[in-house]
A and B are shown apart, each in its own frame.
Chain A
């Protein structure tokens, strides 16, 4: 049941144009609450008044006034909070995500002659984003195949070669182009093992940048985590750091099932510290295990890919305000590490999910459902979902910024989940 459902109202951009360009907060990110009533808000300027009424209602529903609840959280804040724990081992080396992916590909290709790379611009051009740099020179055109512009063609061909025993790594220039090939990913790769009763397995990896970059427009900015995450037979991985990138790509290439490997263009150039263990050529991360990037006691924030970085920064801001946040880097959308998420929520009792994709039927929806199914009694507050705006991504930089979650949105959502009275929208 939806109250105050405004999904059929189109976003009124004219308000936005009047605001100063330096306006820091995003107005149009969708923030969704789950409660005994479902409320869907499009935050507009009048929104905060509504929110005030709502928080009173919520408090009343729980038999507490919002003041009391706020005090309770305050008391929690006074307890010593754990120092934010970085889970990188003390490392002297640093590596960009790009180099991490490149080195992982290189090592897997060296270790197994059946592994080969195929995609547009992967060879001579050294990769559209230089992920496959140097591989053509090292392994030759047999194993680094530049293709004509037909995703359906080379995805199908990749699947066929996997049927026969090769281990292809198919690169999509962005996952938006994978829609051309989605029949082969799902019907030819994901379902084959099942439909052939185990006779045909497909050890293929589909990789490429996913989600928004910077100013690439609506048809190049969609996140496909939710789409592929719903398909049985696929594994969907979403690395964040260089260590994630190396370990998960290696695991994906070695895996006998089809894997969709969703990278992020803006993360390619980011540098992360990397341990000696992760630099070893046999390093591999388990598929289906999330990583707790930062331990905390007050609230759980789940995120994947670039949003992990945002969530960590939000956690630092929250720390200063006395909220000790636990940040979970999902690493794997399918299989989803429900155990880790639930254990964390049972500890903190509050949850905020963050993703860049569209809100309806998103990854956050599945996380919320799994927590409600398994740990409902442990929730002290409705689950807050933060997702991209329910619009095709606008191009203009100011609009694009408002179409995706920003650090401030995560902070506000966390505070709301902690019953801090906080404006719904950036307008306050």
Chain B
């Protein structure tokens, strides 16, 4: 219950609250929704009344504002409340002093004579949606989509491919063959299952721990290798560090190291989709650390105001390099932040591929049909180090890592489910492992042999058209290289 200090008039106040459409209702509806499993995919977060964007300007005639705002752009906000049927303000006589309301910009607000602060934390945390239990068995009566064998096999094998790719590239870095790598260990289900639930024309704005989305969409293993080696076949032209993949063709925006800058970008791109009235959405991924940034808050707030089809997917993996979650935030995770900004949100089990698939599928449908942002917080664990520059055993216990690597491991859980359905076997496993390892080793060897990008690639793409000063600099460099060939590395082509 929101307020912990209700006194004798508690029952009458609850009665008032239940029958009106006000924010405090979120908590009560929340508890009722736990019992009512059909509402697990929604939490109430939209304001009860449609609000024109410009309502706060006192000089504007609200009527004109209302009429203007409800052209094709503004979608009237619908209540996601399960209890909406029982809400009827007209039950109460409007005149009694105790029922006076404040007609405030943004919606009516009921008064209360009780001096009570909403508690900073809730006793009961937002529950976590899952479909498979710890041993990979489906939970009875879970809301989940049926998936075909073909889809399930592709999902599982891509998860394994991702695991193997991480292992091999990590080893390559340790051997000094590439300069840097960051694994996705522990988050394979998030990567693959979320990608599986999207369409190929849904635009992806990743952080840097989502190469699996690109893998799912068909980015070849060889191209991953080319990017990591920064050779001339890298479609990033060797401009960036390893793991900074990007592919226009696959609607996967190039990874940038800057944390959480992709979140407002995603909202902007979603705005563009909305203006073009496309039947697709945008998804953006970030971690628990990224949710502390200014960009996150501005973007989520904006997305709610602009009403754009974007999915905010937070990979709450417990650690932001060495900062554990309890030093990162004190709210009930990130899911409650969606509520704060008026965005429908859900918390899901990030190690359960089927739960992720169903949730993202539903979120996508909501985002597009209702033109609303959606926030998904997936609880998972980063079993690998933050990157090859990190040794996480320095700040967390090996036992903790092993525990998550064992039982909760998303790949193992999904495999158990696959085997229980007879869709996978030990032979399939070893065969897939072998062939993937071989493919990846070959990819790395091939990428290592390829030349680096040419000098010309250093100067183009700064602007749309190569400017004169850069042409001069390039000419000057070539002249210098010609003059001092012995000082120029031999493996860099001209």
Q: Quick check: which of A150-158, A276-284, A341-349, A415-423 contacts chain B, the rest being far away?
A: A150-158
- Cβ-based interface call for A325 (8 A): no
In contact, A194 and B267 (Cβ under 8 angstroms)? no
In contact, A141 and B68 (Cβ under 8 angstroms)? yes
- Cβ-based interface call for B430 (8 A): no
In contact, A184 and B462 (Cβ under 8 angstroms)? no
Q: In the complex, which residues of chain A have a beta carbon less than 8 angstroms from the beta carbon of B468? A: 335
In contact, A194 and B461 (Cβ under 8 angstroms)? yes
Among B71, B234, B236, B272, point to the contact of A166 (Cβ < 8 A).
Answer: B272
A187: min CB distance to chain B, Å: 5
Among A150, A183, A198, point to the contact of B460 (Cβ < 8 A).
Answer: A198
Q: Quick check: which of B115-123, B173-181, B254-262, B418-426 contacts chain A, the rest being far away?
A: B254-262
A:26-62 near B, CB below 8 Å: none
A:148-178 near B, CB below 8 Å: 148, 150, 152-166, 168
Contact A197 B237, CB 8 Å, known A123-B54, A153-B298, A156-B261 = yes
In contact, A159 and B268 (Cβ under 8 angstroms)? yes
Q: In the complex, which residues of chain A have a beta carbon less than 8 angstroms from the beta carbon of B306? A: 145, 157
Our count of residue pairs bridging A and B at CB distance below 8 angstroms stands at: 168
In contact, A140 and B299 (Cβ under 8 angstroms)? no
Q: In the complex, which residues of chain A have a beta carbon less than 8 angstroms from the beta carbon of B267? A: 156-157, 160
- Cβ-based interface call for B488 (8 A): no
- Cβ-based interface call for A147 (8 A): yes
A162–B74 Cα distance when bound, in Å, is 21
In contact, A196 and B246 (Cβ under 8 angstroms)? yes
Q: In the complex, which residues of chain B have a beta carbon less than 8 angstroms from the beta carbon of A288? A: 467
In contact, B461 and A150 (Cβ under 8 angstroms)? no
In contact, A335 and B268 (Cβ under 8 angstroms)? no
Among B258, B273, B276, point to the contact of A187 (Cβ < 8 A).
Answer: B258
A176–B326 Cα distance when bound, in Å, is 36
Instruction: Categorize the interface residue count of chain A.
Output: 35 or more
- Cβ-based interface call for A64 (8 A): no
A160: min CB distance to chain B, Å: 3
In contact, B263 and A156 (Cβ under 8 angstroms)? yes
Q: In the complex, which residues of chain B have a beta carbon less than 8 angstroms from the beta carbon of A235? A: 463
A352–B205 Cα distance when bound, in Å, is 48
Q: In the complex, which residues of chain A have a beta carbon less than 8 angstroms from the beta carbon of B294? A: 150, 152-153
- Cβ-based interface call for A72 (8 A): no
Name the residue on B nearest A123 (C-beta): B54
B418: min CB distance to chain A, Å: 36
A196–B71 Cα distance when bound, in Å, is 37
In contact, A156 and B298 (Cβ under 8 angstroms)? yes
Q: Quick one: CB contact mask for A137-149 with B, threshold 8 Å, 1 for yes? A: 0001111011110
Q: In the complex, which residues of chain A have a beta carbon less than 8 angstroms from the beta carbon of B276? A: 165
A:111-143 near B, CB below 8 Å: 116, 123-125, 140-143
Q: In the complex, which residues of chain A have a beta carbon less than 8 angstroms from the beta carbon of B270? A: 160
A269: min CB distance to chain B, Å: 23
In contact, A160 and B264 (Cβ under 8 angstroms)? yes
In contact, B60 and A148 (Cβ under 8 angstroms)? no
A334–B265 Cα distance when bound, in Å, is 25
Name the residue on A nearest B57 (C-beta): A124
In contact, B298 and A140 (Cβ under 8 angstroms)? no
- Cβ-based interface call for B275 (8 A): yes
Q: Quick one: CB contact mask for A200-233 with B, threshold 8 Å, 1 for yes? A: 1100000000000000000000000000000011
- Cβ-based interface call for B269 (8 A): yes
In contact, A141 and B467 (Cβ under 8 angstroms)? no
In contact, A335 and B467 (Cβ under 8 angstroms)? yes
- Cβ-based interface call for B69 (8 A): yes
Q: In the complex, which residues of chain B have a beta carbon less than 8 angstroms from the beta carbon of A143? A: 275
Name the residue on B nearest A151 (C-beta): B298
In contact, B302 and A154 (Cβ under 8 angstroms)? yes
In contact, B258 and A188 (Cβ under 8 angstroms)? yes
Name the residue on A nearest B301 (C-beta): A148
A14–B57 Cα distance when bound, in Å, is 46
In contact, B263 and A125 (Cβ under 8 angstroms)? no
Q: In the complex, which residues of chain A have a beta carbon less than 8 angstroms from the beta carbon of B74? A: 141
- Cβ-based interface call for A257 (8 A): yes
In contact, A125 and B301 (Cβ under 8 angstroms)? no
Among B57, B69, B203, point to the contact of A125 (Cβ < 8 A).
Answer: B57
- Cβ-based interface call for B221 (8 A): no
In contact, A161 and B295 (Cβ under 8 angstroms)? no
Among B54, B256, B265, B298, point to the contact of A195 (Cβ < 8 A).
Answer: B256
Among B273, B460, B467, point to the contact of A164 (Cβ < 8 A).
Answer: B273
10 A-B pairs besides A257-B464, A335-B467, A335-B469 with CB distance below 8 A are A124-B54, A124-B57, A142-B72, A150-B301, A155-B264, A156-B267, A156-B268, A159-B264, A187-B261, A200-B248
Offer 28 A-B interface pairs, CB within 8 angstroms, sorted by A: A124-B60, A141-B68, A141-B71, A142-B71, A143-B275, A148-B305, A150-B297, A150-B298, A150-B301, A153-B294, A156-B268, A156-B295, A156-B298, A160-B265, A161-B269, A161-B271, A161-B272, A162-B268, A165-B276, A166-B272, A187-B258, A193-B462, A196-B236, A196-B246, A196-B254, A197-B457, A199-B235, A232-B462
> What is the interface of chain A, defined by CB distance below 8 A to chain B?
116, 123-125, 140-143, 145-148, 150, 152-166, 168, 183-184, 187-188, 192-201, 232-233, 235, 255-257, 288, 335, 338
